[in-house]
Structure 1
Amino acid sequence: MSVLFTFPGQGAQKPGMLHALPDHPEAARTLAEATTALGRDVLAMDGADALRSTVAVQLSLLVAGVAMARVLAAHGAAPQMVAGLSIGAWPAAVVAGVLDFADAVRLVELRARLMEDAYPSGYGMTAIGGLTRQQLEPLLAQVNGPATPVYLANLNAPRQLVVAGRDAALDAVADLALARGANRAERLAVPVPSHCPLLDAQARTLACAAAQVACRRPHITYISSSAARALFDGDRIVADLAANMARPVLWADTLRHAWERGARVAVEMPSGSVLTRLAQDADFGAGRALCADGNRLDTLVQAARDGQ
């Protein structure tokens, strides 16, 4: 039996999320390292106004994920596996020992700036609930075009999908989906069209920068949510990290792969509980899934220890 740490993606951010980290030396160390790497106070990034920026959101999720994982490890509750959704793949790679935290901070800042600069407005992501991929894809084909690009971006569960694209295209797909029986069509707090070909050029730029940093073989199992399988080569993981902004997220298959490799406890790093709910709905239903938000530190430590 193994413990899986999961790291959420953009949309899970909350105002004050960095200030809500445990009062612990490992959290303080992580905040200090991030501040040094950035050259500015990372604690200034988690305010409600600051979190309107993709840069602040992605950095806050990176820092919060690494900090909480370090706190739990300091209490003897380290994971045997890690997986992250979208930006969450970056703290997962740090916790697995693939990247130095300072390098990850600088690369994530570049990642977010590339995404934000390319699409400062007019684009985003919408969650569609209640339809399968086979039901949704024909609706995307009706709308997708040069002036109204829209793509399937996240396959979070068989009937929990996310699409990315231009605002007008997202609205059109939402209307079609609801008319075909979807029970949800909700814009997410993600102002860029992640995980689709609209970010191909930005992914290539990030890959060039990422190729310049040192990387190592993971010391625990790292599962890519783009490939939905474990990766064991450091260079391959870094290339996967750089490309993931332009590739669909296969989260349901990622959870299934973790289960097949023996994970029975999933602990979601801050902030939010989306991945915990998805784990409870997927093959992880026979295991235990809980999130850092809303649970006491001793509860999280005990759950992780029980799964080891």
Structure 2
Amino acid sequence: MTVLFTFPGQGAQRPGMLHRLPDHPETARTLAETGEVLGTDPLALDTPDALASSRAVQLCLLTAGVAMARTLIALGAQPSMVAGLSIGAYPAAVVAGALDYRDAVALVARRGRLMDEAFPHGYGMAAIVGLTQAQLDILIDQVHTAASPVYLANLNAERQLVISGADAALDAVMALARAQGASRAERLAVSVPSHCALFDAAAGEMLAAFAQVTLRRPRTTFLSSSMARMLADPLRIAEDLATNMARQVRWGDTARLAWERGARLAVEMPPGLVLSNLTAPELCEGLAIGCDNTAIDTVLALCARFARA
């Protein structure tokens, strides 16, 4: 059996998240490298005011994910696979050995800035729980217009879906979803309409940025949550990272792929437990845990046990 490290996406962030990372040399190294690339103290990025920007949120998620994973690996917990949701794919690629961390910091800073500039206000994302994709597609078709667009963005589980688009369109689909019996329909803490065609132009700019960066074949299996498949070709990983802001997320399929490839323990990097809750149903006879609510000693013991099994 194998160990999967998972890395959450935008919406999981919380104030103070970088200050709660473990006191370990790998955390200090990661924060120092982040600061050197940005030219500023990364610990200033996790304040409530700073987290109003996608750039700060994405940099915090990158930093936290890499710092936690590096710490666990230094203490003996070695993943066999990695997967990240949206921005989480960047720390996953770093931990897999495909992308240099300093390059990742510069690329994520650009990614967040492009997303903030493209849609500074009036757009976002919302979670719809309790409807199938077929049911939600009908509601989206009723609401979507060129002036007020809305798209299906994330297929996190069979009845756990996310939509992206303009505020008015999101509100309209949420109201229809509640009327159709959705158990939950609410806005997410994401201020941009990720994972849809609205970001095609920004994805093109990220492709140009990745052309200036050298990626390597991953040492650890890298699973793309946009494609729900393993990627090993550096050029394909670069394309996947550059364009995932404009592609649907297929987390449910990705979790099933991980299980099919032998994953029985999924360890979610901080912050939060979003991916643990989504992944657990797909790991038959397995376990999904989060570093945020599990002691490091327990994480290490579980990683060792599942790696030996």
152-161 or 295-304, which moves further after superposition? 295-304
CA RMSD of aligned residues (A): 0.6
Where 1:293 maps in the other structure, the secondary structure is helix
> In 2, are the aligned partners of 1:81 and 1:220 still within 8 Å (CA)?
yes
Q: How does 1:165-184 map to 2 (within 5 A)?
A: 165-184=165-184
Report SS of the residue matched to 1:259. Answer: helix
What's the CA shift for 1:258?
A: 0.4
**Structure 1 residue identity aligned to 2:222:** Y
How far has the Cα of 1:285 moved from its partner?
4.4
Unaligned runs of 5+ in 2: none
Offset, 1:146: 1.0
- The equivalent residue for 1:7 is 7
Whether 1:296 and 2:276 are equivalent positions in the alignment is: no
Residues 153-201 of structure 1 show CA distances to partners (whole Å, capped at 9, x for unaligned) of 0000000000000000000000000000101001000000000000000
Q: Structure 1 stretches (4+) deviating beyond 2 angstroms?
A: none
In structure 2, what is the Cα distance between the partners aligned to 1:306 and 1:94?
Answer: 25
Is the CA contact (8 Å cut-off) linking 2:222 and 2:231 kept in structure 1? yes
Task: Kindly provide the amino acid, as one letter, of the partner of residue 48 in structure 2.
Answer: A
Per the TM alignment, residue 286 of structure 1 is displaced from its structure 2 partner at its CA by: 2.2
* Identity in percent: 63
* Structure-to-structure mapping, 1:251-262, within 5 angstroms: 251-262=251-262
Pairwise CA distance, 1:219: 0.4
Work out the CA distance in 1 between the residues paired with 2:295 and 2:248.
Answer: 33
Matches of residues 148-159 of structure 1 in structure 2 within 5 Å?
Answer: 148-159=148-159
List gaps (5 residues or longer) in structure 1. Answer: none
Alignment of 1:1-308 (within 5 A): 1-280=1-280, 282-308=281-307
Deviations 1:177-236 (A, max 9, x none): 000010100100000000000000000001100111011000010000000010011111
Q: Deviations over 1:2-57 (max 9, x none)?
A: 00000000000011100100000001000000000111111100111111111110
Q: Deviations over 1:46-69 (max 9, x none)?
A: 111111111110000000000000
Asked if the contact 1:143/1:172 (under 8 Å) is kept, the reply is yes
Alpha-carbon distance between aligned partners in 2 of 1:285 and 1:52, rounded to the nearest angstrom: 38
Paired residues of 1:133 and 1:159 also in contact (CA < 8 A)? yes
Cα pair 2:259 2:284 within 8 Å, conserved:
no
Check whether the contact 1:2–1:264 (CA below 8 A) recurs between aligned residues.
yes
- TM-score in terms of structure 1 length: 0.99
Where 2:292 maps in the other structure, the secondary structure is coil
Partners of 2:62 and 2:282 in 1: how far apart? 26
Give the whole-Å Cα distance in 2 for the aligned partners of 1:301 and 1:36. Answer: 30
Write the distance in 1 (CA, Å) between the matches of 2:304 and 2:177.
Answer: 43
> Number of residue pairs matched?
307
State the alpha-carbon separation in 2 of the partners of residues 38 and 207 from structure 1: 21
Q: Is the 8 A contact 1:211 1:239 kept in 2?
A: no
SS in 1 for 2:283: helix
